[in-house]
Amino acid sequence: MHINWCRPWLARSHVLLLLLALAGLVPSVAHSARWVGAVTYVTDGDTLWVQPEDGSPARKIRLDGIDAPEICQPYGLEARDALAERVSWQQVVVISRRTDDYGRLLARIQLQGLDIGQWLVLNGLAWSYRYRHSDGPYAADEARARASGAGLWRQERPMPPRLFRQRHGRCY
């Protein structure tokens, strides 16, 4: 761990986190943690709830690497319904990365070895999440879905959710 000694408060916070981690007081789901649970609810095409098999409370999860249409935009309901049909009440493997600004756990979800984010992108129900200069982890899958006219790619010019939110805000 690199500590910037020019910012003493930052160094203290890193030391405090380290001490808390050693004492076992840091939340159990950490970076790249892997756990198993059952999907109990699907909010939209990229957000769902998973009940860990250890009995701890259900966790709200944002699928990492994708951006599905908002519920009120074309293919938003289709994305949610397809995801719900595929994973509801199924046992899944959650591979968590971190918590986002909205308190959701960012994670990849696997159902019997199938990457659910990739499945959504391949079926034209989500975009590969773009960040800075990257086309995202599922860019090749998105290109295949585009070329085949799958799902939202049947539209002449589908609007990416990020642009939709900038222009119209969130649906709810």
5 lies in the same domain as 55? no
17 lies in the same domain as 46? no
With beta carbons less than 8 A apart as the criterion, state whether 158 and 74 touch.
Answer: yes
What are 43-58's pLDDT values in tens digits?
999 999 999 999 999 9
pTM over 0.85: no
The predicted structure's pLDDT at residue 32: 64
23 lies in the same domain as 69? no
Q: Which residues are catalytic?
A: 62, 70, 104
5 lies in the same domain as 53? no
Distance CA 168, CA 172 (A): 11
Phi, psi angle pair for 167, to nearest 5°: -85, -40
Of residues 72, 60, 79, 163, the one with CA closest to residue 121: 79
Range of 13's domain? 1-29
| Number of domains into which the chain is organized | 2
What are 66-108's pLDDT values in tens digits?
999 999 999 999 999 999 999 999 999 999 999 988 888 999 9
24 lies in the same domain as 45? no
Which CATH number characterizes residue 58's domain?
2.40.50.90
123 lies in the same domain as 142? yes
What tokens does 81 get? 């319904």
